[in-house]
Amino acid sequence: MKEKSLQVNWDWSKVEDFTYWKIPDGYVMSLPYYIGKPPARIFDLGCGVGRHTVYFASLGYEVDALDLSSDAVKSTQAWLKKDGLKANVYRGKMTDLTQPDNHYDLVLAFNVIYHAFKDDMVRVINEIYRIIKPGGFFFGTILTKDPNQPFYDKTGVINEQTLIKQEEPEKGIPHFFSYTEDVLEFFKNFEIKDLYYKEWYRAPYSIESINDKKGYGHYILFAQKPESD
């Protein structure tokens, strides 16, 4: 089940509104301040339909992008072509990265690396560390859950930190919910530059719908690989 689950990608054909997925995240848009001007190398791990790949390519950076979904890869390539931009976009698994050691100035993984079981998530983070240059940066989001908060839906629950989504567009995809201790352990080799917690709520908004999702959110993490190990 583990190996099979990790080969399930987002089904973008089930997404009705692409507005959110076409707008770069605000924090991501500030990252050029840290990594400097082009030519810096950026790896967009789990690029989705291309919002951050296109953003960095538009600024002149050397961008590589990967996604498990062939539809996402095609959508990103089409967007780049439409805007007259260049980036290397290809299909692949985040658990099988083949990029060279110490290669990227920034690895971006926005809402990506927690789509795995814990052991594979640790493996991906270690691989991210490997491919970042000394002094380079990582920016990503980590799905979290209050340890005292049970899952709001028992369907697909594997254990107290893991569930496999049963609804589209993420049906069949494992999600690992990290505790604070996990995050600090996962990124112990990095220097954490910024870490904050954010909860998202979906319409229709009400006290009941917000309270139902309390205790579930994301850590937003910005970290740097030391200049020397």
10-residue mean pLDDT series, the chain (229 residues) = 54 74 93 93 96 98 96 96 97 94 97 94 97 98 91 86 88 92 97 94 87 88 91
Secondary structure in 3-state letters for the chain: CHHHHCCCCCCHHHCCCCCHHHCCCHHHHHCHHHHCCCCCEEEEECCCCCHHHHHHHHCCCEEEEEECCHHHHHHHHHHHHHCCCCCEEEECCCCCCCCCCCCEEEEEECCCCCCCCHHHHHHHHHHHHHHEEEEEEEEEEEEEECCCCCCCCCCCEEECCEEECCCCCCCCCEEECECHHHHHHHCCCCEEEEEEEECCCCCCCCHHHHHHCCCEEEEEEEEECCCCC
Per-domain boundaries in the chain: 2-224
- How far is it, in rounded angstroms, from Cα 165 to Cα 173? 6
Return the pLDDT at 17.
77
Return the pLDDT at 104.
98
Other Cβ atoms less than 10 A from the Cβ of 195: the count is 15
Return the pLDDT at 19.
79
Residue keyed to tokens 């605000």: 26
Contact 45, 112 (CB under 8 A): yes
Q: In this structure, what token pair is assigned to residue 10?
A: 């987002």
220 exposure class (CB count in 10 Å sphere: 0-12, 13-18, 19+)? middle
Return the pLDDT at 2.
47
- How far is it, in rounded angstroms, from Cα 115 to Cα 6? 8
Return the pLDDT at 29.
96
Q: Which superfamily, per CATH, for 2-224?
A: Vaccinia Virus protein VP39 (3.40.50.150)
Return the pLDDT at 215.
84
Q: Give the contacts of 229 (CB within 8 A, at least 6 positions apart).
A: 134, 189
Return the pLDDT at 149.
85
Return the pLDDT at 10.
64
Residue keyed to tokens 């690992």: 176
